[in-house]
Amino acid sequence: MKATYHKYILNFKGPSGTSRGVMTEKETWFLVLEENGKKGIGECGILRGLSADDRPDYEAKLQWTCANIYLGKDVLWEALMEFPSIQFGVEMAFQSMASETPFLLFPSEFTEGEKSIEINGLIWMGEAAFMKQQIEEKLAQGFRCVKLKIGAIDFEKELELLRYIREYFTPEQVEIRVDANGAFALNEALGKLNQLDEFELHSIEQPIQKNNTDRMAELCKTTPFPIALDEELIGVFTLDEKEQLLQKIKPQYIILKPSFVGGFRGTQEWITLAEKYQIGWWITSALESNIGLNAIAQWTYLQQNSMPQGLGTGALYTNNFDCPLEVSQGQLWYKKELDWSFDFQKLMIL
């Protein structure tokens, strides 16, 4: 078996704002396997500035992975413990190789186009008018769950946006999730949670910066509405560390990004522990291309979690690959009559 890796820069259609700044492009890496004329592909979806494996030796580790591909998926997964996005790329590539076609990784009623996955509509940070416009678009598109990034503009303006939604839509009509990306100061977080409570939100992701476990545990105990851990899970590699974190913080939810937590196997470890401690969970993509999103969506369907999942369609990029994933009325569908616009040969010469 031969393995190669290839860098690819995804270009955003418009600047996309988070509490860590504005993004105009997103780097990703593809791992391609070849054997007896058959090809498989996996995406190593690193997010610079956030992923645990954003390290100077990242490309060297990809080289090492390709040189040692003969070790197989399971041995490589263990060896790549500190490189969760490469763990995921390896898992995906081996699954792709073993599949009938490179992109049909987990056949199901979802890939047959018979069932869909409910997803949340993502509202990007920006000026209040821009965020309001996005909210109106998502509601018009039939989403019954929206997720707002908060923490970048004036907090009072963010409260106004939430007030605007609640003036027109009850919690039964539209579920609101907010994601602070760790933006709240430790001494202000509880006060802000109390202010947010009037809008009957579903949950808030990562109200404070990760690695403040004592304070986060306190917040999860006293919060007026559920807290979901997101960044807190990044860089927690072993099963023991995962269990200790959940036992200490006792969150209401955890959010699982396969590219950040070691692929399907790493995600499954978190799910097993969450269910052991009666902690809710859902799965989210992490700005991968449609290659990675396709794999995550197919695997997510198999988990049969009825909550809205965080699976955007990759409509964010100008140079993504056309694929069978399509959003309709807040549901992600797999339209098997649609083709992929992906050329292995072109990727090889980039």
User: Which residues partner with 205 through β-bridges?
Assistant: 179, 228
Mean pLDDT for all residues in the chain: 94
For the chain, domain boundaries: 2-102+342-349, 117-334
Radius of gyration of the chain (CA): 20
Q: Determine the length of the chain.
A: 350
The residue to which tokens 């503009």 are assigned: 153
DSSP 40: E
Q: Give the chain's end-to-end CA distance (angstroms, integer).
A: 22
Residue 124 pLDDT: 79
Topology of 2-102+342-349 in CATH?
Enolase-like; domain 1 (3.30.390)
CATH code of 117-334, in short, is 3.20.20.120
Residue 175: which of 304, 306, 274 has the closest Cα?
306
Q: What is the pLDDT of residues 297-313, one digit of tens each?
A: 999 999 999 999 999 86
- Would you state the torsion angle of the CA atoms of residues 311, 287, 7, 56, taken in this order, to the nearest 10 degrees? -130
Which own/partner contact pairs does 343-349 have at CB distance under 8 Å and 24+ positions apart? 344/32, 344/39, 344/41, 347/6, 347/8, 347/30, 347/32, 348/4, 348/6, 348/32
Structure pTM?
Answer: 0.95
The answer to whether 288 and 28 have CB atoms below 8 angstroms apart is yes
- Going across the sheet that includes 145-149, the strands are 121-123, 145-149, 175-179, 203-205, 227-229, 253-256, 280-283
Q: How confident is the model at residue 19 (pLDDT cuts 50, 70, 90)?
A: low
* Lowest mean pLDDT, pick from 12-26, 249-263, 281-295: 12-26
Q: What is the pLDDT of residues 163-175, one digit of tens each?
A: 988 988 899 999 9
Report the greatest alpha carbon distance in the chain. Answer: 61
Q: Which residues are the active-site residues?
A: 149, 257
Is the pLDDT score of 349 beyond 70?
A: no
Report residue 246 as tokens: 């959940």
Is the pLDDT score of 123 beyond 90?
A: no
